[in-house]
Amino acid sequence: MNDKIIGILGGMGPEATAECYMKILRATNASKDQEHYRVIIDSNAKIPDRTEAIAGRGPSPVPEMVSAAKNLEKLGVDVACMPCMTAHYFIEEVQKRVSYPLMNAFLETKKYIQDAYPDVKKIGVLATTGTIQSGLFDKYLDNVDIVYPTPFTQKEKVMNAIYGENGIKSGNTNGEPLQMLKDASDELIDNGAELIISGCTEIGLVLKTYHLPTPLLDPMEVVAHVVAKESVYQKSSSM
């Protein structure tokens, strides 16, 4: 029981990586230590910024991502996840360099929405500018209408909440970042969003379901529950 080895290709960012591990722990059906999965984490905080790379202003994160992914492969993981939505822009490049499956949080989120919210037609997305510009949500959630923040709100509220001087990546997970994200969410709801996706792992550290009048979906929470299912991605099924 619970004998597969789970990998976390982390460091993007470090706190989101730690929270991903906690999500897997909470999602695992275990009554004692020995019933939990073995989880191997490579939290490589030196991976270049994904948003900057997508915008063409910074180096590609792929070499460092592949290096971390291969570390997990050497240690025998059966499946791995990446607690960074923006990093999924590069998932296919990394996947072809390793033998185990890298879980795609976008695909798992789409499946979950189809099962849990089949009547939702309009979804609001809070994510980094890089993720939005990558078109990942439009690519994978092609069965619904997607609402994004206005350019002003995206820059002044969402990106400041994540990257600002008092932002989440600076270790602030309350106060100013929370209010900015609530303001951005209110705008999406005013524009018809029936459900909000926390499309950046840092956002999930701050914005919680009880902060909003509409459902809030954290893709990494979805991934944690999928990867914690004993029958999913067993080594024997991928051979």
Point out the catalytic residue in the list 54, 79, 84, 207: 84
pLDDT at 4 over 60: yes
Identify the pLDDT of residue 164: 92
How confident is the prediction for the chain on average, in pLDDT?
A: 91
What would the pLDDT profile of 228-239 be if each residue is shown by its tens digit? 986 555 443 333
What would the pLDDT profile of 131-176 be if each residue is shown by its tens digit? 898 899 999 999 999 999 999 999 999 999 999 988 988 888 878 9
Query: Start-end ranges of CATH 3.40.50.1860 in the chain?
Result: 5-104+222-238, 106-218
Q: How remote is the C-alpha of 124 from its chain's centroid? A: 16
- Strand (E) positions, the chain? 5-10, 38-43, 79-81, 122-126, 145-147, 195-198, 216-217
Q: How far apart are CA 195 and CA 121, in angstroms?
A: 9
Instruction: Check: CB of residue 74 under 8 Å from CB of residue 66.
Output: no
Q: How far apart are CA 56 and CA 108, in angstroms?
A: 28
Overall fold of domain 106-218: Rossmann fold (3.40.50)
pLDDT at 2 over 90: no
- Binned at pLDDT 50, 70 and 90, residue 82 comes out as very high
Known catalytic residue at 84: yes
* Residue 194 structure tokens: 């029936």
- Pick from 41, 56, 44: nearest CA to 13: 44
Label residue 172 exposed, middle or buried (CB < 10 Å: 0-12, 13-18, 19+): middle
In the predicted model, what is the mean pLDDT of residues 114-128?
96
Sheet containing strand 145-147, edge to edge, reads 145-147, 122-126, 195-198, 216-217
- Binned at pLDDT 50, 70 and 90, residue 55 comes out as confident
Point out the catalytic residue in the list 200, 203, 224, 226: 200
Please tell me which residue, 83 or 170, carries the higher pLDDT value.
Answer: 83
Q: If you search the block for the tokens 């185990």, which residue do you land on?
A: 100
Known catalytic residue at 200: yes
What b-and-e string marks burial along 202-229, b requiring 16 or more CB atoms within 10 Å of the CB?
bbbbbbeeeebebbbbbbbbbbbbbbbe
5-104+222-238 belongs to CATH 3.40.50.1860: yes
